[in-house]
């Protein structure tokens, strides 16, 4: 059966909020706390494949207490954004790239792979149903959260044979609140990912396992944990929920450096976007390992001039201060750098439909 042409039946009509009510609910709402009025749902079983596609009111689920996803964590997700362009249209940023990664995450957890075309179709359905929620203000967007989890009630330790795909959404602004350089804490006790593990998958358990380290970072007065490689505890991999870039040099000598995807790093779509777009801004890019010593020494000698975090949620956020067991150091003078600003402006221009989009990253809905 052609699973890419699954229809999404529309059922039920939520009590729609007025624009004023929507504005009041989403103003100052913390990241991921106020959801829109609709959701998309799709089921998969070993016998019927993908079926029961639906767009309906956002509502709690009825789940069997023995659902595998709750017990053994067979669960993967995505995060992507819909924007209101300056001319009033709606577009989703790189939904095919997110759909492809969703399939790779599912494959790693031995879950059924939702065809990318169906993933994009589901995204279009939700964005259309919740079109009134796509904000027009700069820096605001509709964050879309696709989720796939094992819903089969069966506690034998084997991959499930029934799954649920859900897609929900919320309005988001800045992940770190007001724009300011972030502070990061280098974790030397905890590890996020090991070779052969699940680090490259957007797997729920990776995030649950990061909470303890992230809580330590918060206790140290920092915004994010920095993960080092698990074997040598030396090479920088990524931050709690985002990738990392280093800027080396000044003026025309500047270049971007980011750790290579070694299987233990989440292959960020924003990371990939920056690697593709930076050369056109006159910024050569290099994927190469960076150690904590190189980071510290680079900052001390002025060779590393900026560091920034990037992700769908985080966008582009400068790192100002680094806290380690051996003491703190600052990147540059600790304030946001010009390269992060340039890249952030370029992405914002594309997202608002104001800058050229030669790669066709904006998918108009």
Note the residues at the interface with ligand COI (CB under 6 A): 79, 207, 241-242, 311-314
Q: Which is nearer to ligand COI, 270 or 294 (CB)?
A: 270
Q: Which is nearer to ligand COI, 6 or 266 (CB)?
A: 266
Q: How far is the CB of 31 from ligand COI (least distance, A)?
A: 7
Q: How far is the CB of 214 from ligand COI (least distance, A)?
A: 11
Structure tokens that stand for 245 in this block: 């870039």
Nearest 5 degrees, angle CA 272-CA 277-CA 278? 100
Calpha distance 285→308 (Å, rounded): 14
Strand-strand pairing, 315-324 and 327-330: antiparallel
Calpha distance 19→297 (Å, rounded): 52
Strand-strand pairing, 315-324 and 304-311: antiparallel
Structure tokens that stand for 77 in this block: 């997700």
- State residue 229 phi and psi, 5-degree precision: -60, 150
Q: Which is nearer to ligand COI, 239 or 247 (CB)?
A: 239
Q: How far is the CB of 211 from ligand COI (least distance, A)?
A: 11
Q: Which is nearer to ligand COI, 76 or 277 (CB)?
A: 76
Q: Which is nearer to ligand COI, 95 or 241 (CB)?
A: 241
Q: Which residue is nearest to ligand COI (CB)?
A: 79
Q: What does DSSP assign to residue 18?
A: P
Q: How far is the CB of 161 from ligand COI (least distance, A)?
A: 27
Q: How far is the CB of 102 from ligand COI (least distance, A)?
A: 12
Calpha distance 285→288 (Å, rounded): 10
């Amino acid at each position: 059966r052609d699973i890419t042409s699954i229809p999404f039946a529309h059922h039920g009509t939520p009590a729609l909020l007025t624009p004023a009510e929507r504005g009041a609910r989403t103003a100052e709402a913390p990241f991921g706390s106020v959801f829109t009025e609709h959701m998309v749902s799709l089921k998969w079983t070993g016998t019927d494949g993908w079926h029961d596609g639906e767009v309906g009111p956002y509502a709690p689920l009825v789940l069997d207490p023995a659902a595998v996803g709750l017990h053994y964590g067979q669960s993967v997700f995505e995060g992507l954004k819909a924007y209101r362009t300056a001319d009033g249209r709606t577009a989703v940023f790189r939904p095919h790239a997110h759909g492809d990664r969703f399939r790779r995450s599912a494959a790693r957890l031995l879950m059924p792979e939702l065809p990318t075309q169906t993933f994009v179709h589901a995204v279009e359905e939700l964005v259309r149903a919740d079109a009134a929620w796509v904000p027009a203000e700069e820096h605001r967007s509709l964050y879309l959260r696709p989720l796939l989890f094992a819903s089969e009630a069966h506690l034998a330790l084997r991959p499930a044979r029934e799954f649920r795909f859900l897609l929900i959404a919320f309005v988001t602004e800045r992940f770190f609140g007001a724009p300011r350089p972030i502070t990061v804490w280098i974790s030397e006790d905890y590890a996020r990912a090991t070779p052969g593990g699940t680090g490259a998958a957007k797997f729920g358990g990776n995030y649950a396992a990061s909470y303890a380290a992230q809580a330590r970072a918060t206790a140290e007065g920092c915004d994010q944990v920095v993960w080092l490689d698990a074997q040598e505890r030396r090479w920088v991999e990524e931050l709690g929920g985002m990738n990392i870039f280093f800027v080396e040099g000044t003026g025309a000598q500047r270049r971007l450096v980011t750790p290579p995807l070694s299987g233990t790093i989440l292959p960020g779509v924003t990371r990939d976007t920056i690697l593709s777009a930076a050369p056109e801004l006159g910024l050569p890019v290099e994927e190469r390992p960076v150690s904590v010593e190189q980071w510290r020494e680079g900052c001390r000698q002025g060779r590393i001039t900026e560091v920034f975090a990037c992700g769908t949620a985080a966008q582009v956020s400068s790192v100002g201060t680094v806290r380690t067991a051996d003491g703190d150091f600052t990147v540059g003078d600790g304030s946001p750098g010009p390269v992060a600003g340039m890249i952030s402006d370029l992405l914002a221009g594309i997202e608002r439909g104001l800058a050229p989009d030669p790669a066709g990253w904006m998918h108009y809905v």
